[in-house]
């Protein structure tokens, strides 16, 4: 069997997958995020390791699986962070995760040294405070002692691979989310790193996603309950692995949307997709020589989780109740809109100063209207990403959805109506990342012949067709939604 771990924003999900691609069981161990002023978002890497060990032990115990039955361990991980390690490979300070946007000043200074268009050409991404490079510059400026001690910066899953094997590396998919990777050449960009005046040694070696990076050490085996000597495959970033888990394995595979804490729409391509307006970005796929053009918003599922936390006394029980109220409620049709920029924004605005807002509130609006406006706001924002694809020759007539929010038929139908295309839910909505990581692990040790097995392991579960009248109404709503952001954009700049 294959043991995959999906190191997400809210917790680590351990999943057992058979050599036939069947998800046997999964266990999630949660951990905390420290949010703070000016866009702070940090996690303790020790919590990741503790969650890995706890989830692994619970999963093996619940399934009565012997450690010797695990052929390989592989990873999917949150991207675009900074895990600073010293020369002894010990953690210097808490990890600065993808959601952190404190490095706006550092980004602005870097743009003066290397044009944003040039960085987009090299990396497939525009310079932005959400990426690892600017976060490293923030660390240098704001915590010089921590930066002085930092010998290398890695991503979340790379840290766990090192704890298991003693080998420190990253893969092209995660490297492509740092703002420092030449994605066509497949190596770190000397031009950008030199412009940032950073040491090249801060960036680890890059190995293929399906590489057997090392084997579990005796110490890691004692702590995790796994067998010493078990193969560990490097794995990849959560976005590209979600694409693999959704069956997006060739340039003509179609598109998919991921509805998680951050949410995105994405396709696969044989070359980076460079949008003249730089609304979208392109990651390297975990599949060699493929790329994953993507439009990502910061707070997709996170916006829905926020409104449930605010309005409900018991989020676990209230989620379905609030969604039912939203399905019966009114949002844009009654003049109520929500700008879902709780964590600043990436696509399409790339503005870490952006803020969330309800607009058009009236006295009669209740919980259902508020929740519906949040769901519509996320759908409208993702609509901008689909628009960028269409205007760059990648129009989509169908899109598959994965991620926790895709369990709701109401949400899936609303997406179809807003986007005006057929939306299909995959049967493994929660397990796409884990399945993608398992496939990469299976390819790495020879269990699977190739990545194309993904299309056999995940299937569509029915189509949601757009309602023509509803879509026409939402097109008018989308125009108002985008206009609202533009009117508030300058106002956001003066907020603390």
State the DSSP string of 64-80: T--GGG--EEEEEE--S
Residue 313: pLDDT band (50, 70, 90) is: confident
Residue 202 CA neighbour count, 13 Å, CB half = 27
* pLDDT for residue 328 is more than 80: yes
pTM for this entry: 0.91
Distance CA 268, CA 451 (A): 13
* pLDDT for residue 396 is more than 60: yes
Distance CA 235, CA 173 (A): 9
Position 317 scores a pLDDT of: 60
Rounded to 5 degrees, φ, ψ at 218 are -60, -40
What stretches of 144-290 show up as alpha helix (H) in DSSP?
144-149, 156-165, 172-175, 190-195, 218-224, 238-245
List beta partners, residue 164: none
Distance CA 85, CA 341 (A): 31
Residue 140 CA neighbour count, 13 Å, CB half = 17
- Name residue, tokens 């084997």: 215
- Consecutive H or E run containing 444: helix 432-445
Over residues 355-370, the mean pLDDT reads: 96
Position 130 scores a pLDDT of: 92
pLDDT > 70 fraction of the chain, expressed in percent and rounded = 99
Q: Which residue has better confidence, 236 or 261? A: 236
Over residues 142-152, the mean pLDDT reads: 98
* 251-298 pLDDT per residue, tens: 988 899 999 889 999 999 999 999 999 999 999 999 999 999 999 999
* pLDDT for residue 315 is more than 70: no
Position 171 scores a pLDDT of: 98
Position 319 scores a pLDDT of: 87
What SS3 class is residue 471? helix
* 79-104 pLDDT per residue, tens: 999 999 999 999 999 999 999 999 99
Position 112 scores a pLDDT of: 95
Residue 27 tokens read as 């266990």
Distance CA 124, CA 446 (A): 31
* 181-233 pLDDT per residue, tens: 999 999 999 999 999 999 999 999 999 999 999 999 999 999 999 999 999 99
* 56-86 pLDDT per residue, tens: 999 999 999 999 999 999 999 999 999 999 9
* pLDDT for residue 374 is more than 90: yes
Q: 248-496 architecture in CATH?
A: 2-Layer Sandwich (3.30)
* pLDDT for residue 331 is more than 80: yes
- Would you tell me how many other CB atoms lie within 10 Å of the CB of residue 356? 18
Residue 316: pLDDT band (50, 70, 90) is: low
Which of 310, 295, 262 lies closest to 97, judged by CA?
262
Q: How far is CA 341 from CA 143, 300, 349, 377, in A?
A: 28, 9, 10, 9
* pLDDT for residue 349 is more than 70: yes
In angstroms, how far is the first alpha carbon of the chain from the final one? 51
* 410-438 pLDDT per residue, tens: 999 999 999 999 999 988 788 889 999 99
* pLDDT for residue 337 is more than 90: yes
Domains 2-234 and 248-496 share a fold: yes
What SS3 class is residue 52? helix
Distance CA 161, CA 133 (A): 21
What stretches of 271-347 show up as alpha helix (H) in DSSP?
301-311, 315-328
Q: 2-234 architecture in CATH?
A: 2-Layer Sandwich (3.30)
Domain boundaries, the chain: 2-234, 248-496
DSSP states of 367-408: HHHHHHHHHHHHHHHHHHHHHHHHHTT---SEEEEESGGGG-
* pLDDT for residue 247 is more than 80: yes
Confirm if 182 and 122 have CB atoms less than 8 A apart: yes
Give the β-pairing of 40-43 and 83-85: unpaired
Query: Could you check whether the bond before residue 113 is cis, i.e. omega within 30 degrees of 0?
Result: no
Q: Which residue has better confidence, 397 or 312? A: 397
- Name residue, tokens 């030199």: 194
Averaged pLDDT of the chain = 95
């Amino acid at each position: 069997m294959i043991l995959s771990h999906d190191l997400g924003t809210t917790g680590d999900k351990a999943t057992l997958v058979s050599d036939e691609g069947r998800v046997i069981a999964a266990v999630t161990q949660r951990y905390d995020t420290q949010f703070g002023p000016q866009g702070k978002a940090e996690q303790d890497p020790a919590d990741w390791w503790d969650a890995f060990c706890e989830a692994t032990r619970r999963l093996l115990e619940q399934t009565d699986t012997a450690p010797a039955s695990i052929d390989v361990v592989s990873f999917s991980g949150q991207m675009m962070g900074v895990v600073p390690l010293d020369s002894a490979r010990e953690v210097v300070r808490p990890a600065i995760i993808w959601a952190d946007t404190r490095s706006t000043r550092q980004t602005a200074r870097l743009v003066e040294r290397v044009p944003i268009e040039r960085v987009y050409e090299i990396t497939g991404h525009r310079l932005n405070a959400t990426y690892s490079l600017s976060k490293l510059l923030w660390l240098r400026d704001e915590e010089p002692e921590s930066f002085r001690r930092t010998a290398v910066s890695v991503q979340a899953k790379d840290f766990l691979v090192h704890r298991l094997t003693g080998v420190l590396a990253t893969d092209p998919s995660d490297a492509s989310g740092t703002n420092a990777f030449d994605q066509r050449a497949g190596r770190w960009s000397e031009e950008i790193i030199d412009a940032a005046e950073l040491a090249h040694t801060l960036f680890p070696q890059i190995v293929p996603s399906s590489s057997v990076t090392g084997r579990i050490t005796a110490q890691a085996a004692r702590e995790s309950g796994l067998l010493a000597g078990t193969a560990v495959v490097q794995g990849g970033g959560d976005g590209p692995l979600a694409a693999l888990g959704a069956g997006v394995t060739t340039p003509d595979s179609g598109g998919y949307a991921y509805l998680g804490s951050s949410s995105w729409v994405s396709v696969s391509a044989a070359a980076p997709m460079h949008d003249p307006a730089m609304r979208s970005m392109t990651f390297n796929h975990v599949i060699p020589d493929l790329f994953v053009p993507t439009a990502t918003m910061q707070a997709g599922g996170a916006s829905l989780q926020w409104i449930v936390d605010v309005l409900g006394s018991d989020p676990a029980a209230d989620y379905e109740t609030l969604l039912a109220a939203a399905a019966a409620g009114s949002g844009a049709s009654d003049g109520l809109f929500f700008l879902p920029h709780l964590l600043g924004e990436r696509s399409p605005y790339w503005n870490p100063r952006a803020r969330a807002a309800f607009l058009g509130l009236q006295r009669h609006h209740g919980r259902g209207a508020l929740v519906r406006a949040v769901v519509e706001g996320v759908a409208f924002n993702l609509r901008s990403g689909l628009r960028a694809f269409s205007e760059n020759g990648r129009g989509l007539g169908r899109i598959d959805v994965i991620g926790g929010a895709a369990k709701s038929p109401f949400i899936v139908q609303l997406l179809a109506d807003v986007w005006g295309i057929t939306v299909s839910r995959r049967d493994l909505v929660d397990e796409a990342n884990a399945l993608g990581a398992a496939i990469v692990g299976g390819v790495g040790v020879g269990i699977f012949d190739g990545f194309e097995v993904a299309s056999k392991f995940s299937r569509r579960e029915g189509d949601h067709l757009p309602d023509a009248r509803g879509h026409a109404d939402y097109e008018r709503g989308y125009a108002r939604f985008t206009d609202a952001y533009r009117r508030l954009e300058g106002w956001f700049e003066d907020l603390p």
